[in-house]
Amino acid sequence: MRPVNSRYVLIGAAFAVCVALLAVLSVAQYNRAFDRVLPITVLADRSGLLMEPGSPVKLRGVEVGSVAEVTSDGTGARLAVELDPAQAERIPAQVTANLVPATVFGAKYVELRPGPDTGEHIAAGAVLNRARVTVELDHTFDHVMDTLRGVPPSKLNAALTSVSGSLRGNGDRIRALIADTDGYLRAFNPNLPELESRLPQVTAVAEHYRDVTDDLTATASNLGGTGSTLVEQKRAFAGFLLSLTELGNGTGEFLDDNGPPLVSALDELQPTAGLLRRYSPVVPCFFGGMVHNGDLIRAVTGGPEFGGTHPNTHVTVSMLPGIPAYEYPQNLPKTGVDTGPDCHGLPEVRGIPPYVNYDTGANPYRGTDESPRLNPDLLAVYLFGPLSPLGGGR
């Protein structure tokens, strides 16, 4: 026998160790032992069929992780989920999970649905409670079988015969109904995000209704009492309605007889009403000024009991030069002058208000005439009495 070379033995052993190490590394790589993951937990009432480790986890159709383990804690299913840390930064903290199948008979995957954006992303160790699981065919068949077991065959046959008879000959109408429903759903689907955003507001509305429930109940009770009163006093109520009918008939006859004059009167009053409406802002100013002036007068002449300083009024009368008489045609009156509403500082005027020339044809502030003037009519009255022809007598 030839002696065994120890060198070849060592090389063979090293090769076997390398092969075993590569196999272990391949298995570990397949099990994602070297991947950096962010672990979270999803809790559901059940995991359903075909939910196995390795099932994808998706957000808006993009795979963001996978299911690492599916276990049961006695009250429901517990799914250990491993998220890709790079994708986890784009997943909001307020997120929910659904266990849905890709097809009717396909394997399930975890669908993440984002909630309100709070600016925070999901963290390691997060627990998503109450994950919703889609209804599966086996559960549907179980419910159908339970229903069929509880229904007598004769009644089931009669019901199916009735359904068959109602569907026979109505294929076109059913097709049109399905097409209309499809069109309605296609038009409604774009509004689902807005509907979803408005649903939280329903809670606030429900709370408002809850707060006023007692008042609504009391109102309903009062309406019941009102209804009972109307029933008890139905004769009087019928008489009231009859008198109201007579009033309406009389009013109708009156309007028929006097309708044109009323319309004419309203037409005639329209310019006056328009003028009053335009100058209506001056009315509060005027009455406010009257009240303020009354307070000022009472403060002076009202006596001590009204907070005044003097119990009476002292008036000083003096003679002032008169203004020139009206002259033609300079002082002819003008109509239709439109200056617009203006309170001029009322109700409390501060200082002396500025003089406003309203251009009515007369100017009382054009100055005084201190030169002596002779009034022949007044002189004739003084000299010959009121019956003098020169004084305007008869």
Report the pLDDT value the prediction gives residue 390, as an integer from 0 to 100: 47
**Average pLDDT estimate for 177-205:** 86
What whole-number percentage of the chain has pLDDT above 90? 2
Residue 281 DSSP SS3: coil
Tens-digit pLDDT profile for residues 210-245:
888 888 888 888 888 888 888 888 888 888 888 889
Dihedral angle of Cα 47, 53, 58, 63, to the nearest 10 degrees = -170
CA distances from 82 to 36, 41, 117, 228 (A): 9, 9, 22, 69
In this structure, of 95-109, 189-203, 320-334, the range with the lowest mean pLDDT score is 320-334
For the stretch 81-107, pLDDT in tens is 888 888 888 888 888 888 888 776 777
CB 97 within 8 A of CB 128: yes
Question: 3-state DSSP helix/strand/coil percent for the chain, to nearest 5?
Answer: 50, 15, 35
SS3 309: coil
Average pLDDT of the chain, as a whole number: 78
How far does the chain reach from its first CA to its final CA, in angstroms?
181
pLDDT category at 166 given cuts 50, 70, 90 is: confident
Least confidently predicted of 22-31, 154-163, 303-312? 303-312
Question: Which of 84, 153, 148, 152 lies closest to 122, judged by CA?
Answer: 84
Three-state secondary-structure class, residue 351? coil
The conformation of residue 226, written as its DSSP 8-state character, comes to H
Return the ∠ at Cα 340 (arms to 336 and 345), rounded to 5°. 135
Report which secondary-structure segment, H or E, holds 381. helix 376-384
* Tally of CB atoms within 10 A around 311: 11
